[in-house]
Amino acid sequence: MVNTKTIAEYFIIVLPYVMAGAFVVGAFFRAMIYYTVRRHEWFSREFEKRVNRYMEAEVPGKVKGVSFYVLSKRMLERTYYEVFEIRDRMKRRKPDSVMTWSDRIFLVKQGCAWLVKDILKQLKFLKWHDNNPKLLNITKATFHHNPCFNKVFGVFPMASMNDIISIMPGLFVVAGILGTFIGIASGLGDLGGMNLQDLETTKNIMDKFLHEISFAMKSSIVGIVFSLSSHVLNTMMSPERAYVSMIDRFESALDLLWYRSDNNEYPTEDSPFDEHKDAVEALAEDALNKEISRGARTREMLEVRKPKAS
């Protein structure tokens, strides 16, 4: 026959270690989720930085006929090639020059490449009008459906794990109180065998009961400590705060490009984005194209200013 009291005592002894293990696992995955979202935000921050730099250098009304899709594609490609070229250049002396450990574990470069491709796929079908399109919805949908950033290590669903980790502080408190109640319930059975005529035996039973209650209440203390620690950890590494910042940065940058553009024409000879292209070659090609287009605009202005022969 199973001894219920023995099971209760074993449960109370094991419970603090179980809560400690759950806290360590939850803290680890919270850090991984936070880092994954921060990698997302890092790319958005770099994209916003380059868009702001471009807008500061622009002169209103100087260049006409700017396509929103072409401008967005150029900014996204420049961001992608520059950030990873700078990072790879800094780590070029290391033996693993093909892929960094963060790319292997968190799929950072692959996720950014998927983001650029998917956002361009949606931007090229926007109808041009004076009002601001639903760029916020497009940005949210693109980030939400990114397969590289929606799973930790490419395996564990981030949203589900984040929900579980968020309720862990409450679970620690409930588990601690449960352990205390189980300890009290298991000790109450011994009180029924007390004989008030035998003071020595009664004293021993009461001492044992109080010892069990004192030990059982420690589970509540442990649960409260882990609950407070989880609250602090969740506040310090909040993926929700990083996610909001990420969406706002990316969407505001697209808004600036939309206001700068004059149309959303899709070029007939547009080359698709290639994430495997050499970054140095791509940046050099972009710089050359800008110089060619700048020279063409200069010649056009000179032709316009050239006096006609009488």
> How far apart are the C-alpha atoms of 236 and 30, rounded to whole Å?
10
Counted domains in the chain: 1
Q: pLDDT value at position 171?
A: 93
Asked if 32 contacts 152 with a C-beta cutoff of 8 angstroms, the reply is yes
In a domain, 157, yes or no: yes
Print the domain residue range for 14: 4-266
Confidence tier at 64 by pLDDT (50, 70, 90): confident
Extended beta strands in the chain, E state? 151-152, 156-157
Residue 227 and residue 169 in contact, taking contact as beta carbons nearer than 8 Å: yes
Query: Average of pLDDT values for 52-78?
Result: 84
Task: Report residue 103's pLDDT band, with 50, 70 and 90 as the boundaries.
Answer: low
pLDDT tens digits for 291-304?
434 444 444 444 54
For residue 82, being part of any structural domain is answered with yes
Domain for residue 276, yes or no?
A: no
Is residue 291 situated within a structural domain? Answer: no
285: in domain: no
pLDDT (tens digit per residue) in 260-284: 888 888 887 767 776 656 544 544 4
**CA end-to-end span of the chain:** 118
Domain assignment present for residue 298? The answer is: no
Q: What confidence tens digit (pLDDT) does each residue in 170-219 have?
A: 999 999 888 888 877 776 666 666 666 666 766 776 777 777 777 778 88
